[in-house]
Amino acid sequence: MAQDYTEWLAINVLNEQQLVSYRSLSRALKIHSNLAKQMLYDFHRKQNTKKPRAVHATYLITGTKRKEIPNDGTHSQREGDDTVMQSSPPLPSSSAPKPDEHDEEPIAVQTVMLVKEENVLQAKAKFESITGTHIYSLQAKGLGDLQTLTECNRKIAADYASEDPLEVWKQYGTIQNPKVKRRTQRRQPPPPRAPMVKEAVAKATPAAPTTKPTTLKKESSKDSQDSKLASKPSSAKATPEPAKKPPTTKRQGSDIFKSFAKGKSKAKAAQESQESAGSTPKTAPEDEPMASFSDEDDADEGDVDVVEDVPKVVDGKSKKEREAELQAMMEHEDEVMADAAEVASEQAEGDVNEGAIDKPESQAAEEPKETVQVENGRRRGRRRVMKKKTVKDEDGYLITKEEAAWESFSEYEPAPKKIKVPPTTSMNKSTTAAAGKKGAKPGQGNIMSFFSKK
Amino acid sequence: MAHDPLLTYRTLVTHFTDFLTVAIHTILHERNIYPRTSFLSARKYNYAVRQSRHPKVCEWINDAIAAVETELLKSAVDRVAVVIYTKDLKPTERYMFDVSRFPAVDPTDLDTRLERRGENGDPVPIVPLADMDEQFRATMGKLTGCRGVLKPLPEGCTFTVAIELKSEGQPPVGHPQPWMPVQPELSETSGEKHTRNTVHPVRAVAAGELVFESWIEQAVDAT
């Protein structure tokens, strides 16, 4: 036992040149801290008698400091690089120069000072009375910065995390409060709600500094935004509820970022669709966020405020696409989406009566998407198609929703299925060329076919 | 820290340049290039480090590191050195970081995943970068402890950052030019000076693909 520590210290301090504090020694050898301090002292003395300055030490001095002039304190502090930790406010004499100092009672201040060995004498001189001194740590070469000693404690916490402090305190001599009790946490952490998390993630990733409002609120805000923005390009409609506007203005800022997330293809598509049809036909009440993004592309033309964060947000687009895909798959399970679905379905109902122009266009638009590609004579595998549908609300708001729908084609030149659409409709739709232009390749094919006919 | 699936050459270089920034701040503090009071305590890699508070110093270091990063991304750097000069502009100490073992990557592949393949072409599991922090901590510890090892510096020393390029690369000239070409002075290639240096090893870090060595060279005849 006696020889163990010498060997251990020789290995760690001299050979490996590590910083060893009394705490590390006590944890490593499973001994009491006070014993560890004595071992450190012994080792230090022995090694230095063998070879002077082989081992350096830092000391911990506890006591009451002498009353000193403030200059002295700061001066020596800089010199000796001491860390002075005081347990109570500084002595009153050092703060305000009062003429009647003798009336004040000096407050007893206990000082714990960590000093390098070369500064020990100087530090001791500062103390009026010393209650305790012991070696704090040993190192082979001089200690550069006192704060590197924090590394010892971090290592202890990391290496010995498995030990229960309530059990081993006797062994190590840690200060213990006899009345302390461990509190058991009965409740399990709530299981994460995956859809909500994904929604939040998708909205957070476009790098907009959004606070985390509830998803519901966001969607309601997007509803109003959709209506507001959609009403802009198509002729004047009733203004959206002013109540929803103020809370959404802030989020609009972040949503504008997200509009960039849609990607430039979307922006182009939205713009051209705007010019030609005034509404881009899509479906899926579940995909409100997607829809709002496309609308906000339109808004960007008007606002032209935000030109930042494009590269970051482009990443968000791809995530958003994946997100939309997942959502489409999870539409049944998603509560939030269900709420949105309800809202949207109400709007859809209102739309049927009023938005006569929009509806047939929307339906026509859906199918030509497929036929156009067929005409090109290209082979297509499975692909996901973004469809927009504009529906008119009861109150006259145009709400454009976008849905990612999976379509799988395995077609050669003549498409075996989906030729139910007569060529006239496809002609119709190629006028609204941008709708097809949305997905990059299909869009190009659309236009090319248009020209080829001529 | 980095997750293995996302390990690209660019992230590797970023980790290294972050480490280099902290190392330079530490060296400045340890060798008293700037007054110690102008440094504040910060935390990096779960370790207490010193960071300079002077805005110009920080700006200069950040610019230098950015220039080093540009060269690293071209896989052109052999070694990075932080050189300490005396008032007479004589180099006294060099803190070397040998990065010649970094993977040499095409500029087009900067963002592709790195994967190490064994002799027969099978993918070899990469050593996780989890202990990269630990190795950086150890290196920091060594750097901070260098104060006891090295001779104290004379007053008025200054520092700079130098890179030694691999022989097959193009020198980074052009406009704007962040680097100034200099004669090799304390480097090993100049034979006669070689014997006059004392070398103190610091650390050889090997964390997955991030492999570099670091040591301190001190000119013996420094006055």
Which of B36, B48, B50 is nearest residue A150 as measured by Cβ atoms? B48
Alpha-carbon distance A378 to nearest alpha carbon in chain B (angstroms):
31
Residues of chain A in contact with residue B48, where contact means CB-CB under 8 angstroms, are 145, 147-148, 150-151
Predicted local distance difference test score (pLDDT) of residue B102: 81
Residues of chain A in contact with residue B50, where contact means CB-CB under 8 angstroms, are 145
CB B163 within 8 A of CB B71: yes
Q: How far apart are CA A393 and CA B57, in angstroms?
A: 60
* A204-208, A419-423, B65-69, B204-208: range with highest mean pLDDT: B65-69
What is the mean predicted confidence (pLDDT) over A18-44?
Answer: 88
Beta-carbon separation of A145 and B148 below 8 A: no
CATH class of the domain at B9-182+193-222 = alpha beta
Residues of chain B in contact with residue A154, where contact means CB-CB under 8 angstroms, are 46-47
Beta-carbon separation of A144 and B137 below 8 A: no
CB A352 within 8 A of CB A359: yes
Residue B26's closest chain A neighbor by CA?
A: A145
Which of B50, B141, B147 is nearest residue A142 as measured by Cβ atoms? B147
Does A201 reside within a domain?
A: no
Beta-carbon separation of B141 and A145 below 8 A: no
Alpha-carbon distance B141 to nearest alpha carbon in chain A (angstroms):
7
Interfacial residues of B (vs A; Cβ cutoff 8 Å): 29-30, 36-37, 41, 46-48, 50, 137, 141, 144-149
Does A136 reside within a domain?
A: yes
Q: Which domain holds residue A136?
A: 1-67+108-172
Cβ neighbours of residue A266 under 8 Å, at least 6 residues apart?
A293, A294, A297, A317, A386, A438
Using pLDDT thresholds of 50, 70 and 90, give the confidence band for residue B48.
confident
pLDDT at A103 over 60: no
Does A369 reside within a domain?
A: no
Please provide the size of chain B in residues.
223
Q: How far apart are CA B54 and CA A267, in angstroms?
A: 45
Beta-carbon separation of B47 and A142 below 8 A: no
Beta-carbon separation of A144 and B147 below 8 A: yes
Q: How far apart are CA B22 and CA B34, in angstroms?
A: 15
CATH of the domain at A134: 3.90.1030.20
Beta-carbon separation of A148 and B144 below 8 A: yes
What angle is formed at CA A153 by the lines to CA A148 and CA A159, rounded to 5 degrees? 125
* Encoded amino acid at A452, one letter: S
Q: How far apart are CA A196 and CA A334, in angstroms?
A: 8
Instruction: Please state the pTM of the whole predicted model.
Output: 0.53
Which of B37, B46, B48 is nearest residue A148 as measured by Cβ atoms? B48
Q: How far apart are CA A272 and CA A266, in angstroms?
A: 10
Beta-carbon separation of A154 and B46 below 8 A: yes
Task: Report strand pairing: B158-165 vs B47-52.
Answer: unpaired
Predicted local distance difference test score (pLDDT) of residue A166: 75
Over its C-alpha atoms, chain B yields an Rg (Å, rounded) of 18
Using pLDDT thresholds of 50, 70 and 90, give the confidence band for residue B62.
very high
User: pLDDT tens digits, residue range A167-185?
Assistant: 788 888 888 888 877 777 7
Residues of chain B in contact with residue A56, where contact means CB-CB under 8 angstroms, are 148
Size of interface A-B (CB pairs under 8 A): 40
**Residue whose entry in the numeric block shows the structure tokens 């002013």:** A242
CB B216 within 8 A of CB B81: no
Residues of chain B in contact with residue A81, where contact means CB-CB under 8 angstroms, are 36
Does A126 reside within a domain?
A: yes
pLDDT at B171 over 70: yes
Helices (H), A205-309: 215-231, 245-261, 264-276, 288-303
Task: Report strand pairing: A83-86 vs B77-85.
Answer: unpaired
Average pLDDT of every residue of chain A? 61
pLDDT at A338 over 80: no
Beta-carbon separation of A144 and B146 below 8 A: yes
User: pLDDT tens digits, residue range B102-161?
Assistant: 877 777 777 777 666 655 656 665 556 667 888 888 888 888 877 777 888 888 888 888
Beta-carbon separation of A19 and B141 below 8 A: yes
* A75-79, A185-189, A428-432: range with highest mean pLDDT: A185-189
Tell whether omega for the bond before B176 is within 30 degrees of 0, i.e. cis: yes
CB B210 within 8 A of CB B129: yes
Buried b (16+ CB within 10 A) or exposed e, A125-137: ebbeebeebbbbb
Angle, helices A22-29/A33-50, rounded to nearest 10 degrees:
110
Q: How far apart are CA B18 and CA B181, in angstroms?
A: 25
Residues of chain B in contact with residue A143, where contact means CB-CB under 8 angstroms, are 145, 148
Interfacial residues of A (vs B; Cβ cutoff 8 Å): 17, 19, 56, 78, 81, 139, 141-145, 147-148, 150-151, 154
What angle is formed at CA A154 by the lines to CA A131 and CA B210, rounded to 5 degrees? 150
Does A121 reside within a domain?
A: yes
Cβ neighbours of residue A46 under 8 Å, at least 6 residues apart?
A6
Domain boundaries, chain B: 9-182+193-222
Beta-carbon separation of B47 and A56 below 8 A: no
Q: How far apart are CA A316 and CA A206, in angstroms?
A: 5
**Residue whose entry in the numeric block shows the structure tokens 């739309």:** A351
pLDDT at A145 over 50: yes
What is each CA distance from B195 to B89, B146, B221, in whole angstroms? 21, 21, 11
Alpha-carbon distance B34 to nearest alpha carbon in chain A (angstroms):
14
The beta-strand segments (E) located in chain B are 39-44, 47-52, 77-85, 91-98, 116-117, 123-124, 158-165, 197-207, 210-219
Does A211 reside within a domain?
A: no
From A2-6, A87-91, A163-167, A401-405, the region with the lowest mean pLDDT:
A87-91
Beta-carbon separation of B145 and A141 below 8 A: yes
Predicted local distance difference test score (pLDDT) of residue B59: 92
Does A74 reside within a domain?
A: no
Beta-carbon separation of A144 and B30 below 8 A: yes
Largest CA distance in chain A: 107
Which of A141, A147, A150 is nearest residue B148 as measured by Cβ atoms? A141
Does A9 reside within a domain?
A: yes
CB atoms near residue A47 (< 10 Å): 20
Q: How many domains would you assign to chain A?
A: 1
Residues of chain A in contact with residue B29, where contact means CB-CB under 8 angstroms, are 145
